[in-house]
């Protein structure tokens, strides 16, 4: 774990925790080391979009399971199973 005063170590760990790949982490660290913090934003935005897509896909899967459980319960309550 990075020391609280280790800005680049903290940044690196945060990027890893956010699911960024090695290439994105290296790119962001390079920008940060050059003081080009604003150049990290497109990479961070891209990662956020990818995470949101994954969340939405998972929500769809949960909805499918909920519907299946509903249908099974409905059939069972109607005495059809």
Q: What is the pTM of this model?
A: 0.76
Give the residue numbers spanning the domain of 65: 7-77
In a domain, 53, yes or no: yes
Phi, psi of 35 (to 5 degrees): 80, 15
| Tally of domains in the chain | 1
List CB contacts of 20: < 8 A, sequence separation 6 or more: 28, 43, 47
- Average confidence (pLDDT) per 10 residues, the chain, 81 residues: 79 97 96 96 97 98 97 83 53
In a domain, 2, yes or no: no
């Amino acid at each position: 774990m990075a020391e609280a005063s280790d800005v680049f170590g903290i940044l690196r760990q945060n990027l890893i925790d956010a699911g960024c790949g090695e290439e994105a982490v290296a790119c962001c660290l390079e920008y940060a080391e050059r003081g080009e913090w604003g150049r990290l934003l497109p990479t961070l935005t891209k990662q956020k979009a990818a995470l949101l897509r994954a969340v939405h896909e998972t929500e769809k899967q949960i909805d499918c399971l909920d519907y299946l459980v509903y249908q099974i319960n409905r059939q069972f309550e109607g005495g059809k199973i």
